[in-house]
Amino acid sequence: QVHFRFAGHQICSVFLYLCHKMFTVEHGFPHQPSALAFDPKLQLMAIGTKSGAIKVYGAPGVEFTGLHKDTTAVTQINFLPGQVSELYAIVPPTKKKEKKKQNKTKKHTNVHREISYNCSITPPPFLLLPSATRVTVLLLLKSCDLLCIGTEGGGVYFLQLPCLSLKDNQTLLQDQVTKSLPDDYRCGKSLGPVESLQEHPQQSGKILIGYSRGLVVLWDLSTRYADQLFLGKQQLESLVWERTGNLFVSSHNDGGYSVWPVTSSNTYNHQPVTSTIPYDDEWMDKLLLSVPCSSSPVLLYSGGMPRASYGDRHCLTIQQDKEHITLDFTSRVIDFFTIQSPEPEKEFDDPSALVVLLEEELVVIDLQSPGWPSLPTPYLAPLHSSAITCSCHISSVPPKLWERLVNAGKAQHGLQQTWPISGGKNLALPSKQQELLLTGHEDGTVRFWDASGVALTPLYKLSTANVFHTDCDPSDDPQDPSDDPDMQQEEEWPPFRKVGCFDPYSDDPRLGIQKISLCKYSNKLVVAGTAGQVIVLGLSDERSDHLVDVSVVDLLQDREGFTWKGHDRLEPRLKPAPFAPGFQPLVLVQCLPPASVTAVALHAEWNLIAFGTSHGFGLFDYHRRNTVCTLHPNDSLAMEGPLSRVKSLKKSLRQSFRRIRKSRVSGKKRTINTPTSKVQEANAALAEQEEVAPVQRRIEPRSADDSLSGVVRCLCFADTFLRDGTHHGPTLWAGTNSGSVYAYALEVPCVGSGRVSDRGGASESSVCVEAVLGKEIQLMHRAPVVSICVLDGRGKPLPDPYEASQDLAIAPDMTNAHSVLIASEEQLKVFSLPKVSAKTKFKLTAHEGCRVRKVALVVFSSAAQEDYSEHTLVCLTNLGDMHLFNIPGLRPQVRYDCIRKEDISGIASCVFTKNGQGFYLISPSEYERFSLSAKVVTEPLFSVQLDRLLEPTPAG
């Protein structure tokens, strides 16, 4: 719920899309933007999308969204100045292909008005214009009482606001204009669609009407007569007035623009004052003319590039005197505007910033600083600048770590300029704690985002590419063009400048980040990638040039008969490489075979990392730089040992008697006794070995011959009881795709109960970390293990490393028996430790297609009682529903419909926070943030001062 205050008069509410009682807010860049508008008085920007959404943005924290009930593309938006209401054109879905020409979509369009505080937009009955013509352009007069509509048939219609009634006596059809043209200009040809409508900047009631064929008419609304006709011969693209109204500029499809004088002495104007083609024969899409605090105007236009050489470029050019820069983007230009003084009595436009909406990002250019640099965006940052491959959330970030990350980010971005879009006032209280969202990307980068509030702000970017030799290393590049005079001369024109951070191409797909783990207390970070690389990084405030230590871990241990047919490993650099302030690599662990890393765990207090792939998992001591152990999950010999878990005789007898009873009951129904039926009976008996409670559902057994059975799905470190119920110590738990769980007892120097003094005189070789297989658990139905968590004697999760030792969390209960919670795709189960006997379980079904996809243990704090909280298990299934269970009893508490079951990428990308919130991708560039907690809610709260109180008109 968004509270929106109208000039102190009343409070209205904007309801975002809610899942039952789940609060949601969106982060990131709108998917498939299609329209842009700006209100200079309120300093608010609106973006429309092809899915029918309208998103309004002001100062950081001031944002809200409206959404059409039907999927209808928004093609144009116009603010009613100072009123936070919008006029916009929508396009119903169509199967016809769009024209390749940018920003000139012409489809059947309907126009309506809607008050923006109604979030779910329900339009009034469609306004059907005469002749069922198609709308091409809208113009809202400054008086806000008249809307001009240009059409594809060449007619211009006028609607009275706010009632949207058609003024028949004002309609201007193309025949009326054609009668006023000279005979030699008519030639029996149509004038074409209306391409542009522009109001005179100084004389109200006069508008420029530009037709596709090239004709421009200065039309007087009061006299309904053409004051002047400008007989252009090139196909018209756009029009723009000069501030004084003495001239205007037209852009054309030949890549040129013309300057036309506006005088009262001559009705017909055949020739412009000047006509310029800055580049070559390419159409110019849109042109703006702004006059800064000097006599030299600034000319801005998109397109206009030579077809033969730069036809695939997306460009926008800025010209002022001899300064000339061509902004080169990586995605198509949708629209742009300048932020300038809204006061009409001012002598100059004084533009301060240029805002460019691209297909994949928003770029803002500072027009007042030398060189016209780009400004970092506090919101609307393209999360998908490189495709997102994984994500991780960190709650309650320590202030010191936060400060160091902010400083590292400032070193990358330079000085932070004031954000020019400043409408509204953010009323949300400062967050009590700082939150980080980490996203891993296909290009090997990890981006750190400030997720403390509504605006998801970029903080810092880490790149892992410089740890390796890639195909695009600078040393491998051809000769620098600056060293070749001929090449340098060719590069001088056009004066391109790469702008924006959206880059859909990766230098090497092996660099992709698959897993991230961060210890916020020791400032240690682990990132794992597609080619089996696992990098341990530490935080540094100074630049460093150093060589990264490399350790190779063979998970198969040179097993005979195996041949790796996948991609090669990334080659590490053999010379010191420069690393900027921030996270810097300490050691690189390379898994062999170089398969993608599927799981990673970090325990900074023990200096250990664990990593898993489809070929096994390993344990590495990054402090001593040595491999502790490796294991291939399908290696049955590795499972043999004195501590291996075996079925008890009592349990085996009990299951045998159950099978006998079931066979007697069902024996009378059997009529066919074939080998096939015997196999089916055996499978059915396996599925029914354990009793199923009425509120639960049956589980489908899986084959043990699954080709992906060796994939390691999860890893977990814990200080618990594994050997016996008296001595606790470090352990490592690993879960696989075949329903196997392996538990290792670890010998970590100076860690463990009652063993520190025993190692005082030990030699250097004996202080290495050791691992001994302690337990193996094979889930009966072989469902993939999604999560493993050890619970203390109170049934609560163990604290993170350093939390208990530094009094940052309540110490775990080590006096009572521990337990382990294992979540598979089909059931949740709690085992007691150290005997590993089942205590309680909850089964989900396979017959209805329900599989567990994500699991997290969340702390829900009471909104009524400050010091009360509960640990809850949150489970997301492949149907998109959210289940909450208490622990360790696993009693179902509540269920929500959260994500559409068809949204496979959204379910796969979901990540939970420790305080009851979550993130998932609703598009490649947008996260939806939801809150399951009644206390921890992220919601927009802001105010906007309006010129006058709005009175909504009835819809129809």
Phi then psi dihedrals of residue 284, to 5 deg: -105, 125
Burial 79-97 (b: 16+ CB within 10 A, else e): bbbbbbbbbbbbbeeeeee
Under a CB-based contact definition with an 8 Å cutoff, are residues 790 and 833 in contact? yes
Cβ-based neighbours of 491, under 8 Å, separated by 6 or more: 481
pLDDT tens, 487-505? 444 556 788 999 999 988 8
Query: What is d(CA 359, CA 331) in angstroms, rounded to the nearest whole number?
Result: 6
pLDDT tens, 329-356? 999 999 999 998 777 677 778 889 999 9
**pTM of the predicted model as reported, rounded to 2 decimal places:** 0.84
Query: What is d(CA 809, CA 817) in angstroms, rounded to the nearest whole number?
Result: 20
Tell me the DSSP string of 209-240: EEETTSEEEEEETTTTEEEEEEE--SPEEEEE
Give the DSSP letter of residue 721: -
Confidence of residue 10 (pLDDT cuts 50, 70, 90): very low
Confidence of residue 280 (pLDDT cuts 50, 70, 90): low
Task: Give me the pLDDT at residue 107, please.
Answer: 29
Query: What is d(CA 93, CA 91) in angstroms, rounded to the nearest whole number?
Result: 6
Structural domain harbouring 911: 851-924
Mean pLDDT (the chain) is 80
pLDDT tens, 48-99? 999 989 999 999 999 988 888 778 888 888 888 766 666 666 655 443 333 3
pLDDT tens, 732-790? 999 999 999 999 999 998 775 433 333 344 444 457 899 999 999 999 888 999 999 99
Residue 103 has pLDDT above 50, yes or no: no
Under a CB-based contact definition with an 8 Å cutoff, are residues 620 and 589 in contact? yes
In a domain, 444, yes or no: yes
> How many CA atoms within 13 Å lie on the side-chain side of 913?
27
pLDDT tens, 509-564? 999 999 999 999 999 999 999 999 999 999 999 999 999 999 999 998 867 778 88
pLDDT tens, 613-622? 999 999 999 9
Of 581, 605, 631, the last residue of a domain is: 631
In a domain, 437, yes or no: yes
Task: Give me the pLDDT at residue 452, please.
Answer: 94
Task: Give me the pLDDT at residue 537, please.
Answer: 97
In a domain, 944, yes or no: no
Q: Which amino acid is at 548?
A: V
Q: In Å, how far from its chain's centre is CA 950? A: 35
pLDDT tens, 431-461? 889 999 999 999 999 999 999 999 999 999 9
Query: What is d(CA 586, CA 588) in angstroms, rounded to the nearest whole number?
Result: 7
Query: What is d(CA 907, CA 889) in angstroms, rounded to the nearest whole number?
Result: 26
Residue 476 has pLDDT above 80, yes or no: no
pLDDT tens, 209-256? 999 999 999 999 998 999 999 999 889 999 999 888 889 999 998 888
pLDDT tens, 908-930? 999 999 999 999 999 999 999 99
Under a CB-based contact definition with an 8 Å cutoff, are residues 33 and 41 in contact? no
In a domain, 877, yes or no: yes
3-class secondary-structure state, position 849: coil
Catalogue the E-assigned strands of 699-763.
712-720, 729-736, 740-747
Task: Give me the pLDDT at residue 214, please.
Answer: 92
Q: Rounded mean pLDDT of 466-493?
A: 57
Domains: count for the chain: 2
Q: Rounded mean pLDDT of 142-151?
A: 89
In a domain, 533, yes or no: yes
Q: Which of 923, 900, 903, 899 is nearest to 912 (CA)?
A: 899
DSSP-derived pairing of the beta strands 626-631 and 616-621: antiparallel
In a domain, 949, yes or no: no
Confidence of residue 642 (pLDDT cuts 50, 70, 90): very low
In a domain, 128, yes or no: no
Q: Where are the alpha helices (DSSP H) in 9-54?
A: none
In a domain, 79, yes or no: no
Task: Give me the pLDDT at residue 591, please.
Answer: 95
Query: What is d(CA 791, CA 521) in angstroms, rounded to the nearest whole number?
Result: 22
pLDDT tens, 356-401? 999 999 999 999 888 899 999 999 999 999 999 999 999 999 999 9
